């Protein structure tokens, strides 16, 4: 039976039930990978929060945080403009280069925590030392100042491990974590961007036709390292932390204008990293069980996809969604519709920056330790 006859005879349903054609033939048909198989991050968060055992969203705490943020909403820390005005390392221009800078940064935006707080990767840039995520941005800008085209896919698609080590070198004895994974992901991502999108993330942005969800789908379906997914109580759940923050940072770099004018930006969730859970527990909006807190204090390593790790990430997303809803409700009671000023992206940016600025106050709440490429 040749392929054409097979397609005619078999149609969408094969004699073996709903197996895809590729299961019926020995030769591989590249089945388009679809996100539909996974719950969206928002639906994932709801399911996880409803079934979580070691992480609890505190309704009273959510209410108090929303009330405390009420007056902050109009501050620059809670604004789209803050992405540039508060962060000197972020690109300041609205340009294709800025979009490709964001794509590179968020492709590598994972796992910066160090075993010991006083012994970590630091990058010096223009006389200032940067740590954590900002050490990545400092290294990118340092390379660009040195004439290395690090944001060009044509360059990073074929970078050697030694070149990656050089570009992302630390100014302390502690290297940036997961440097081999970063090398693999740079080569993989750069090759795909060249082969499918003409070497520029701007092509993906234009293809999204000003839809955040369409851009999210393009990223997850084409770039494997962004597939931040897990299984929880038998259901396929997703967080898409780097894919969502990529869409958000693209929105910010384009200042919400032109190709970056995403009408559905409010459909994104917060980005489930290891800082947001810490600050939510610190503020009393979320609580860990005694058993989980003990493990965190012991510095136990979790694996990406572990039950408690999934509960931490899913409850964080759900908790922040409730904070947003409560904030909007507080303004609605005053006759103000703030849906343009309050969304999970801006709440996330605010809380993440707050966490960076209140590291000392939060030291009684350890981060959960995972070494992975997703956050
Ligand atoms: N939820 C959330 N997670 C975020 C970010 C960012 C950077 N975005 C900034 C850039 C422009 C905007 O103005 C944002 O302020 C990095 N991360 C994650 O944090 C962790 C690094 O933490 P530390 O080791 O302390 O640097 C790591 O998992 C990284 O993936 C965010 O915004 N939200």
Q: What is the pLDDT of residue 33?
A: 66
In what helix (H) or strand (E) does residue 370 lie, and over which residues does it extend? strand 369-370
352 alpha carbon – ligand 1 mean position (Å) = 6
Q: What is the pLDDT of residue 262?
A: 98
259 is a catalytic site residue: no
Q: Which atom of ligand 1 is nearest to the CA of 353?
A: 15
Residue of 273, 306, 325, 357 marked active site: 273
pLDDT tens per residue across all 375 residues of the chain = 444 444 444 443 343 333 334 444 444 444 556 777 999 999 999 999 999 999 999 999 999 999 999 999 999 999 999 999 999 999 999 999 999 999 999 999 999 999 998 999 999 999 999 999 999 999 999 999 999 999 999 999 999 999 999 999 999 999 999 999 999 999 999 999 999 999 999 999 999 999 999 999 999 999 999 999 999 999 999 999 999 999 999 999 999 999 999 999 999 999 999 999 999 999 999 999 999 999 999 999 999 999 999 999 999 999 999 999 999 999 999 999 999 999 999 999 999 999 999 999 999 999 999 999 999
Report d(CA 236, CA 229) in Å as an integer.
7
Beta bridge partners of 14: 17
Contact between 235 and 47 (Cβ < 8 Å): yes
What is the three-class DSSP state of 150?
coil
Contact between 182 and 141 (Cβ < 8 Å): no
What is the complex's ipTM, to 2 decimals? 0.97
Report d(CA 93, CA 339) in Å as an integer.
26
In angstroms, the Cα distances linking 142 to 139, 189, 241 are 5, 21, 26
Token readout for 268 is 């994104």
Q: What is the pLDDT of residue 12?
A: 39
Q: Which atom of ligand 1 is nearest to the CA of 132?
A: 26
Token readout for 121 is 């990767």
- Residue 71, Cβ density class (10 Å: 0-12 exposed, 13-18 middle, ≥19 buried): exposed
Of the chain, the end-to-end C-alpha distance in Å amounts to 47
112 alpha carbon – ligand 1 mean position (Å) = 10
Q: What is the pLDDT of residue 35?
A: 78
Token readout for 182 is 């970063």
Contact between 112 and 273 (Cβ < 8 Å): no
Within 6 A (CB) of ligand 1 lie: 83, 87, 90, 109-110, 112-113, 132-133, 245, 270-271, 273-276, 348-349, 352-353, 356, 375
Per-residue DSSP letters for 74-142?
TSGGGSTTHHHHT-TTS--S-SHHHHHHHHHHHHS------SBTTB--EEEETTEEEEHHHHHHHHHHH
Report d(CA 307, CA 231) in Å as an integer.
9
How would you classify the pairing of strands 286-288 and 235-238? Answer: unpaired
């Amino acid at each position: 039976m040749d392929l054409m006859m097979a397609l005619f005879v078999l149609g969408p349903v094969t004699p073996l039930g709903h197996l895809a054609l590729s299961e019926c033939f020995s030769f591989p048909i590249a089945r388009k990978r679809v996100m539909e198989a996974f719950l969206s991050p928002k639906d994932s968060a709801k399911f996880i929060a409803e079934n979580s055992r070691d992480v609890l969203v505190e309704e009273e705490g959510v209410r108090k945080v929303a009330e405390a943020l009420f007056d902050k909403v109009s501050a620059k820390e809670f604004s789209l403009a803050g992405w540039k005005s508060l962060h000197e390392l972020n690109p300041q221009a609205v340009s294709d280069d800025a979009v490709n800078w964001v794509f590179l940064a968020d492709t590598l935006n994972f796992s910066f925590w160090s075993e010991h707080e006083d012994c970590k990767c630091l990058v010096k840039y223009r006389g200032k030392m940067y740590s954590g995520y900002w050490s990545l941005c400092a290294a990118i800008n340092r390379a660009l100042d040195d004439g290395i085209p690090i944001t060009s896919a044509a360059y990073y698609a074929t970078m050697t491990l030694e070149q990656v080590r050089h570009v992302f070198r630390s100014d302390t004895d502690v290297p940036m974590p997961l440097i081999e994974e970063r090398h693999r992901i740079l080569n993989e991502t750069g090759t795909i961007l060249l082969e499918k999108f003409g070497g520029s993330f701007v092509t993906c942005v234009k293809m999204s036709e000003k839809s955040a969800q369409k851009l999210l789908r393009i990223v997850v379906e084409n770039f494997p390292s962004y597939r931040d997914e897990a299984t929880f109580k038998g259901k396929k759940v997703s967080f898409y932390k780097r894919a969502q923050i990529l869409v958000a940072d693209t929105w910010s770099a384009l200042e919400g204008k032109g190709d970056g004018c995403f009408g559905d930006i409010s459909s994104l969730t917060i980005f489930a990293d290891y800082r947001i859970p810490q600050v939510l527990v610190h503020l009393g909006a979320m609580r860990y069980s005694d058993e989980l807190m003990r493990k965190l204090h012991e510095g136990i390593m979790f694996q990406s996809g572990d039950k408690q790790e999934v509960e931490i990430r899913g409850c964080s997303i759900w908790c922040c969604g409730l904070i947003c809803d409560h904030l909007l409700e507080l303004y609605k009671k005053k006759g103000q519709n703030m849906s343009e000023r309050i969304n999970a992206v801006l709440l996330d940016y605010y809380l993440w920056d707050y966490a960076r600025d209140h590291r000392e106050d939060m030291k009684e709440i350890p981060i959960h330790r995972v070494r992975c490429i997703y956050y």
